[in-house]
Structure 1
Amino acid sequence: MAQIDRHIAADWIDPGERLRSPRPQPDTSAEIGDLWRILRARRAWIIGTAAILTAIAVAYAMLAPPLYTATAQILIDPRDKQIVSNDVNPVAMAPDGGVIQVESQARVIESDSVLTRAVIAAGLLNDPEFGAPGNGVLARIQRAFDGADRTGDTADATKAEGRAVRALRRKLAVKRADKVFVVDVVVTASDPDKAARIVNAIATAYLQDQSDARAEAATRASAELGARLEDLRRQVNQAENKVERFKAEKGLISASGRLISEQQLAESNNRIVGARARTAEARTRLQQIKDARGTAFGADATPEAIQSPVIERLRAQYAELVSKEADLRTQLGDRHPNIEAVRTQLQGVRRLIEAELNRLSKSAETDFQRAEANEKALAAGLETLKRGTVVSGEASVRLRELEREVDSSRAVYANFLNRSREIKEQVGIDTTNARVIGWARPPQDRSWPLRVPLIIGGLISGLGLGAGLAFGREYLHPTVLSRRQVERLLNAPVLVGLPVFGPRTERSACLGAARLLDRMANLGPRPRSSGQGVAVFVTSGGTDAKDRRTITRLLAAVAVTRGDRVLVIDADLEAGVPLRDQAGLVEVLNGETSVTFAALRDGQSGAMYLPVGDAMRLSRDALDRANIEGVLTAARDAFDLVLIEGGTLSANLRVAEMALTADRMLVVVRGGTTRQRELLDLVEAAESLGRRISGAVVVGAGAA
C-alpha cells in the first residue's frame, strides 16, 4: 500500500477549527529516578554490550598465550661505599635524601648498556620472542626481502642486539615504592624459567655496569693525574733551579738551610755578647783589686779578686805574727827585742802582700785591656757583617719569595702524587653501593591473562559501556521516562498507569483498565443522546502499535466483563490487516454494509470486532465528515463502548475525521520506549484537527 501524506487531511479540515499552539520541544532533562528507568528501558543494549565484551574477554582469556612475571629486588644506597678516606666517588647524602639518585639509577637499569649485557648473558639474540627471525618460509622470505643475507656479521649482530633490547624494554618494568631505596626489576616472558633468567641477568648486568663505571672513572682520573704529574715535576725542578741560580748570582750561600751571612751575623753577635761580659768581669776584678789595697789586712778585706793561694798564705802568716806580737807585748812589753823582731817580720809580710797585690793588679789590668780590645774587634766585625746584611736584604726578600714558590710547587706535586697512587689502588676495589636483596625465582602462576579478573573486567566494562550507550542514545533520541514528561508533552493528564500485560500482571492490568474506563466515562462532554455509547479513539506512536492493540483488547475485555456492549473498530488504514472474504470498516464507510452486519465476535475479549477491510477501495467521499459521523452514530446506538484502534494518528491522517468525531482521544505510551518526538507529532496532528488529547495511559516503566 502506498504511503499517504499525513498532511492530506489539512484540506478537509475547516481552518477556523484549528487550534494552534507553540510546538513543544523534547524534554532532555532527567531526574535521579529516571536514570534507572533509562537503564531498564534500554537493558537490551546494556546486556548485549556486556555479553559481547564478556565473550571477547572469555575468548581472549582462553586463547591468549600465558605470560609469566619474575621480579628481582635491588637495594641502592644513596651513600656510596667509602673504602679509602679520599675516595674518587662522592659519599655525602644529597639534600633530597637520595631519591633523585635512586630514580636515576632506576633509569640506568633501563639503559641500552645494561640491557645489552643482559641480552647477551641471557642468550636472547636467537630467541624469536625477542625479535630473532624464525626458520620458517615466511621468515626466510622476509630476510631475503630486507636484504639481511647481504649484510656483514657485525651489522647482523648489531641489529640482533638492537631488536632484542627493544623487545626486552617492552617487557621490562622498573619500579620503586615511595620512601624506600629498593628498586623492583620486573620482566614478563612466555616461560617462567626464561623470565627469572632474564631478570637475574639484568640485575647482574647492572651491578657489573656500576662496577665497571666506577673502575673506569678511577682509571680515567688516575690517567689524568699521571699526565699532570709530569708537568708538576717539571715546574718543581724549574723553581728549584731558579732558586739556585739566584743564590749563585747574589752570592747567597747557605748551609743547613740558612744563609752563611746570617749564620755569621748570629755567631758574631753571640761572640760580642760574650766579649762584653768578659770585659765587664775584668773591669770588676781590677776595681776590686784596687779597692783592696791598703785594706787587705783587715778582717773583711777578702774580695774574690784577691783570693789567691799566695795571698792566703801571707795573710795567715801576718795573722799569726800579729797574734804573736800581742802575746809578747803582754808578756815582755813594747820595748822587748823579740817584739821588734816580730814587728820586722810583720813589715816583711806586709811588703810581700803588697807586692802580690801589685802583681794581681797588673794582671787584672792586662786582662781588662785584652778583653776590651777583643770587644772592640768583635764590634767592628759585627758592624761589617751588618753592612753586608743590609746590602743583601733585597736579594734575601726575592730569595724567600722564590723559596715559597718552590715549597708550594713541592706541596702540589706531593698531593697529586699521593692522590694518583690512591686512585690507582681503587681501580681494583669494588665500591658499588647497590646489592641484590632478592634474586628472581621462576613464578608458579601466570601473570597474564588473569582469567577471572579479565572476565569480570569484561563484564563490568560491558555494563559500563552499555550504560554509556544507553544514556547517549537516550540523549540523542529521548524517550518518555515519567508521567510528568507525558503530561507536559501531551498537555493532557495521565489517566492511569498499567503494567506490561502478562500472566503475572493480568489482575493488576485488569484493575487498571477498569479505572481507565471509569475515568474516560467521566472525562469530557457526554454523548449527544443519553442512550448512546462512548466512542474512544485510541492512538499511539509508531513503536507502540503492539501495546496499543493490547490495551484496546484489554479495555474491551474488561468492559464486556462489566456487562457493556463493546465494539472494537480497526481504523488503522496504514497497518491494519484485513480479514479475507470479510467486509470491514472500508466497506461500511463505502455504504456497502452496516456496522452491525460486518462486526464479528472476538473470541478472546468477547467484544464485537470490525476489521479494517480493503483500504485500497476507500473513496474520498467515504471519508466525508458527515459519512463518518453517521457510521459512529450507528455504532454508538448499537454499543455502549466503541473503541477505535486508530493506529498512529500522525501517519494515519485519512481517519482524521474519525478522530475528530470520537468522544475521547486516548494516547497509549510505553514508558522508556516511546520516543518523545512521536508524542510531539501526535500533539501536532491533533492540534491540526482542532481538538485536544483527552488523556494518556502509560504502560511499563514510568507508569507508577
Structure 2
Amino acid sequence: MGNNVGAGDVDIDIGHLVRSIARKWWLVLGVSLAAGAGAYVWATTATPLYRAETRLLIEPRESVFTRPADNVDTSLDSEGVSSQVEVISSSQLLQEVARELDLASLEEFSAKPSALQRLLVRLGLARDPGEIPTEEVVLMSLREKLDVYRVENSRVIVISFSSADPDLAARVPNAIADAYVASQRAAKMESNESATDWLAPEIEDLRERVRQAESKVAEFRARSNLLLGQNNTVLATQELSELTSELSRVRAARSAAEARARAVRLAVQNGAAVETLPEVQASQLVQRLRERQVELRAQIAELSTTLMSTHPRVQALQSQLADLNAEINAEARRILAALDAEAEAAREREEELAARLEQLKQEVAKAEGAQVELRALEREATSERELLESYLTRFREAAARLDRNYLPVDARIFSRATPPALPYYPKPVPMILAAVVGTMLLMAVLILLRELFSGRAFRPASTALPMPAPVQVPEARKLEPERPEPKAIAGAVDEDASAVAPKDLDVKGAALTLMVDHVERVIVLSPEGDAASVVSVGLARELADRGLRVVLLDLTLSGAATQPMLETLAHKGITDLLTSEAQFSEAIHSDLHSSCHIVPVGTADPSCSTEHIERLPIILGSLSAAYDVVVIECGQTSVKSTAKLAEGKAAVVIGVVDRHDPAVTGIFSELEQEGMKAMVVYSSIEFDRSAVPTDLDAA
C-alpha cells in the first residue's frame, strides 16, 4: 500500500550544514594554508628522484627466408606477453643485473634503517636490517624502485626505474632489458641443443623401422602375386575391367546381328521386297541388279505404249525382270546366312568372355583380400617414412642454426633509457594544491560530522504522500486505515450477504469480500453500458467509507461512472495523463459525496491518448503505490482486453442490472473461454440516462 512517514521521522537540513561550514571558514582556511606550507617545506627539502624507462616489443624476429618449413606462428598471445613481464621481474634476472652493475656498493641500496625501523626493531615488531643478507637487501631495494608493466592492448613491455642518480636511473632498465634478451637467447639455444640431442638417435631408429616396413611390403607383394598394372592397380583387377567392357561390346554386336538377321528372315518368309532392307541394299550385287531392274521396267513401260503384253519382245523383257527378282531373293538368302553366322560367332564369343569373366571375379576376390593386408603394411611403411622425413628436416634445421649460431629472440629493444634531465619527484605546485584542497575537504567533512552527531542538522520530515517522479499525486489520507480482522469481516459478509446467491453480490457484500481478500486493484466490466457503471461508483464509495484510500479510474468514453461524483465533467483526467498534458495533482479529484478520489475521462482527444496507451501501466503503478485500492471502470469492453490491467492482487467485477441481458451472458462466455473467475455485483441504483450530457463523447 502507500508509504507513510511516521511522526518521529526527520530530514537533514542541508541549509544548516552549509551555514555551519560558512561560519567556520576561518578555521578551514587557516588549517588548509598551514597544510600547504608544510607541503612546500617537504617539497623543497625532499631528495629529488629521477625516472627512466626502456621499452621492449615482443614480436617474432624470424626472417621470411629462415622461417621453418611448417611456418608455425610463434607470436605470443596476451597471456604470453604478460608472462614475459613476470620473467623480466624474476629474482634470478634482477640478481644478475645487480651483480653486473655492482649495486651493493651504492649507498642507495645499503641497509641503513630509519628511526622508525630502529624503533620497531627494539620493540620486536620488525627484523633487524643488519641480519638480512646483502643480496636480499639489494633485491628488495631494486624491486621497490622498479616497475615492469605491459602497455594495454599491445605487445610492448615497459621497464621503468627511479633513482636519485639520473645516470643510474637509465643504466638499470637498459641492463635489465639486455639481460632479458640474453636469457631468452640462451633459453632458445638450450632448447635447440636438446632437440638435436633427442632427434639424432630417434632418426637412426626410424631409418631401421622404415627399412623393415618397406621390406615387408615387397615380400608380401611377391608372395601374393599382386602385380601392378596401370594406375597402380592389380593386373587381375585391370583385366577384369577391360574384359567387362569387351563383354558389353560383344553383347551389343550380337544383339545387333540377331536383329538384322531377324528382319531379313521375316522379309524373305513373307515375300516382301527384300531389296528395300538396309542389309540387302548394302550388297553391290543387289545394287547392280536393282539398276538392271529399273532399266527393264523402263523398257517394258516404253514398249507397253505401242505393243501388247503378249508381244514376244515384251514377254522377253518380263522374263528377264523375273530372273532379276529371283537373283535378288537368292542374294538376300545369302546375306541372311551371313548374318546368322555373324550372330552365332558373336554368341560364342560372348559365352567365352562370360566364362573368363567368372574366373577373373574369383581371382579378383582373392586379390582384394590380399590387398587389405598389403594396404595395412603400406600405411605403416608410409607413416614411418613421413615421420623420418619430418625428423630429418627438423634435425637439419636445428643443426644449421647451432652451427651458424642463428637463434633470433622474439623481443626487440626499440627504446632505450636515457638519463632524465628533470626529476619526477617532488612536484611542489601539485603537492601544495593537493594539500590545500585535501585539507579543505577534510575540515568540511569534520564540521559536517560534528553537526550531524550533535543533532543540530536535523529537522522534522515532511508528511506529504510520496509518489513516483516526475509527476506528483495529490495528498491522500495521511493515516493508514485500520483494517478489520479477517474473521470479523467474514462474519460481516455472511451477515450482510446472506440473501445473495454464490458469486452474486450486492455492492456492500462485494466491498467486504474485496477487503477480506486484500485486493489492491478492482477491474469493473459493465457489459450493459452506462446503466451498470454505477456498480464501480458504489464499490469505490463503500470501500472509502470503510476507511480505505480508494481512487476510481474511469476508462469509459462517456464518463458516466464519474459523472455523478463531480460537479461537471470538464476536468482533466486519464486522457490528459496519457498525453502528458496534465500532472497527477491536476487529474485526481475528490468525490462530492465520499472520501474517495476520482480520475475522470479527461478533456484530451481520446484518439491522441490511445497513441500513448503504453503509459497506462506506469500510471496504474503510481496510483497503486499511493492508494489502498484502485477501482478501474472499463465499461463495455472484452475480458481479453483487460488482462494486462490485472497485476498483483487484482479482482474482476461484473456490474449487472439484468442478468439475462445478452451482453451479460456474452461476457460470461468470454470468462469461461479465458478461464477467469469474476464477481457478479447487481446494481441497486436506478440509472437516469437523461442526466448524462449529450456531448460526453466529444469531451
TM-score normalised per structure 2: 0.43
Of structures 1 and 2, the larger Rg is shown by: 1
TM-score normalised per structure 1: 0.43
Higher RCO structure (Cα 8 Å, ≥6 apart): 1
